[in-house]
Amino acid sequence: MHTDNHRYERGLAKLREIDGEAGERVLQSLGDIAPDFARYLIEFPFGDMYSRPGLDLKSREIAVVAALTALGNAAPQLKVHIQGALNVGTTHTEIVETIMQMAVYAGFPAALNGLAAAKEVFAQEGTR
């Protein structure tokens, strides 16, 4: 039977696959202020959306990195998803190209700030 419990477990596995440790930290940070929101985050974005067929995970992460670069107002989440894109097999080059492309659609400042975020994430890789 298809229950919320199933959806939660599927979402948690997907969140760990994509976001890794950064995803766990987000969940923990919500624990004492909005625990239900941690549950929704697992269930809807990861249990529902990222678990859908029809678009591969790498393309989904390219879409998310593009959107968060363009919006330019969610730096912490952009970094989580640059790492997420790497986790699901996107190359450094593909991420940099996705962010550069945003100069055309959201302006050079958005792309410059996206590249700075990528630089930070790529640098942290080297230290792990």
Q: By CB under 8 A, is residue 101 in contact with a second copy?
A: yes
State the nearest-atom distance from the C-beta of 13 to a second copy, in Å.
Answer: 17
State the nearest-atom distance from the C-beta of 55 to a second copy, in Å.
Answer: 4
Q: By CB under 8 A, is residue 69 in contact with a second copy?
A: yes
Q: By CB under 8 A, is residue 124 in contact with a second copy?
A: no
User: CA-CA distance, 6 to 4, in Å (whole number)?
Assistant: 5
Contacts of 11 by beta carbon, 8 Å cutoff, 6+ apart = 42, 43, 44, 45, 46, 47, 48, 50, 51
Q: By CB under 8 A, is residue 26 in contact with a second copy?
A: yes
Tell me which residues touch a second copy (CB under 8 A).
Answer: 1-4, 7, 26, 29-30, 32-34, 36-37, 40-41, 44-45, 48-49, 52, 54-55, 59-60, 62-74, 76-77, 93-94, 96-113, 115-116, 118-119, 122
